[in-house]
Amino acid sequence: MKEFYIEESEKNNRLDIVFNTRYPNFSRAHIKNMIDEGKILLDGKRVKAGEKVKPNQKVLFEVCEVKPLDALPQNIEFEIVYQDDDLIVVNKPQGLVVHPCSSTRDGTLVNGLLYRIKDLSGINGVLRPGIVHRLDKNTSGLMVVAKNDTAHTSLARQIKDKTCKRKYLALLEGNLKKDEGEIETYLDRSKSDRKKIAVSSSGRLAVSGYRVVKRYTTACLVEFSLKTGRTHQIRVHAKSLGHPVVGDDVYGKAVKGLNGQLLHSYYLEFTHPRTNDLMHFEIPLPDYFENYLKKLKVI
């Protein structure tokens, strides 16, 4: 473990910014992960990345070697649903990671975008060019990607202001009691497993609307509408209802023949950053999802 003390000149700054200034070889994203995982402590306590620091506080941290990451162009297979001078709408396949990280250094959607697209926005840095929002590795479906910073700022604001509409279809284990409803919880890192997200009394507010589309004897097909966009939000909310997403090996159980959860981003709506036209896109379920549904018996 290493340590340093907060200086007078650093007071009232965020912990992650102070740490990044001291250790610029660590990316902000990596620093946040270290803080979330309890590998960076302030006065011996776990805090959030945005915690404001005070003079003479002690920062204690584990030394984690970080090799530099580069997002290089690679020929990655994915579908471009729409493209113009400002943005791209892609259909991300299941199993494709969105951007490089410490565990997945290449072979991501970003690597594929760099191979096929000349210009992408630079707001999120060299590892996440153009990425406005993300989907989990094993979640398929629609994503919008920004080609320039103006488009990126507009799209990010729409997501923050909840004017960008995102709808998902998920197959849940068993059957929900209600045909529709809304789930409102706080989500935070699990205390027992920092790689997981859990419903908590603190953390960030997460709100999901849901509507049962079809009921089967052993499962139900449910449409989720995101009102916030937290990590693993739908998967954790489904688990909190007692009905995990089918095939989710993190919050439910793995299913033979499936490569991950049956969760698909099928609908996306936003206002075009340049023209102000209302844009909406809808795509069908992937074949593996449809084939699984065909094996089930409708109630």
- Alpha-carbon radius of gyration of the chain: 21
Is the four-CA dihedral 228, 136, 94, 80 of positive or negative sign? Answer: positive
pLDDT at site 68:
47
pLDDT at site 101:
75
At 239-270, the pLDDT tens digits run 999 999 999 999 999 999 999 999 999 999 99
Nearest 5°: the CA angle 164, 167, 141 is 100
pLDDT at site 125:
66
Catalytic residues: 136
Give pLDDT < 50 ranges for the chain: 66-69
Q: How many Å apart are CA 216 and CA 221, to the nearest integer?
A: 8
- Domains of the chain, start order: 2-61 (3.10.290.10), 67-161 (3.30.2350.10), 164-299 (3.30.2350.10)
* Closest C-alpha to 212, from 176, 240, 266, 248: 176
pLDDT at site 2:
87
pLDDT at site 152:
92
